Homo-oligomer: A and B are copies of this chain.
Amino acid sequence: MSQQRQGSTPGNTGAVPAFPDLPEATIARLPEYLRALHNLAETGSETVSSEGLAAAAGVNSAKLRKDLSHLGSYGTRGVGYDVALLIDQIEYILGLDQRRAVALVGVGNLGHALAGYDGFASRGFRIVALFDADPEQVGQALNGLTVRHVEELGRAVVEEGITIGVIATPAGAAQAVADDLVAAGVTSILNFAPCVLAVPAGVDVRKVDLAIELQILSFHEHRKASLTALPGGRSPQAGNQEAVGS
């Protein structure tokens, strides 16, 4: 979708290797590799083979090698990958070395959980501001932060250096919040509201809809049920043997 080339002339050997334009599919897997690598580092492993890391991340080993080769990886043939080095590489590529400030809008049911989710902090993300439109919610303390009114969003984004916005509002309010975030200069949005957001070019939106995942599972349940019921479907060997990619 973005085939513009980089300024990296062939033979470029600068200290910072320009910016590699990785396939989107590869990017989506890097966080999983990173998690597996952290686990390995905790167990004391200094190197991993592509086979071992692939197993820990739940992917094909060839795919993992190709992914890592895209970011000019430093593996050693006959040995494997240096765990610590690879962690640094991937964290640099993902921009996790600079801790990112996140704003969370909507502290309802889901927002509460997100505000307290420790999986964010442990990956280098820090929620620095909470907002809500409901006066009932405004003012309450939550995880060390005070919920502010959504009108203050614009100012806070600039003052706190926020680069990522998380929308956990009802669907009806999501577009207005997105507009506010974009107006304030946020260029990355994680949307939990079940609706499509319209944003200008240059702004990235990722959507997570919990109900959609269940519906996809429901489809497979339905399919499996109809197969076992049919005379033709004799062996229940359908389905994927491993986690389905997101």
Contacts and interface: CB of A to CB of B under 8 A. Distances in A.
Contact of A213 (B21, B110, B190, B198): B190
A221 B19 CA distance: 12
A212 B31 CA distance: 6
A127 to B, nearest CB: 10
A4 B240 contact: no
B237 A4 contact: yes
A79 interface: no
Q: Give the size category of A's interface with B.
A: 35 or more
B7 A214 contact: no
Interface hub of A19, A35, A112, A218 (most chain B Cβ within 10 A): A218
Interface stretch (A80-88, A90-98, A128-136, A150-158): A90-98
A166 B28 CA distance: 22
Contacts of A188: 217-218, 220-221
B220 A204 contact: yes
Interface in A193-246: 194-227, 230-233, 236-244, 246
Interface string A4-42: 101111000000101101000001101110111000000
A73 interface: no
A43 interface: no
Nearest to A29: B212
Contact of A119 (B102, B118, B210): B210
A148 B29 CA distance: 35
A56 interface: yes
Contacts of A207: 243-244, 246
Given A113-B113, A116-B109, A237-B4, A243 B206 contact: yes
27 contacts: A6-B227, A7-B233, A9-B232, A19-B222, A27-B219, A28-B216, A31-B211, A34-B215, A94-B215, A94-B219, A96-B218, A109-B116, A113-B114, A117-B210, A164-B217, A164-B221, A187-B224, A189-B217, A190-B214, A190-B217, A201-B239, A201-B240, A202-B238, A204-B220, A204-B244, A206-B244, A209-B246
Closest 6 CB pairs of A and B: A7-B232, A95-B222, A113-B113, A58-B196, A188-B217, A31-B215
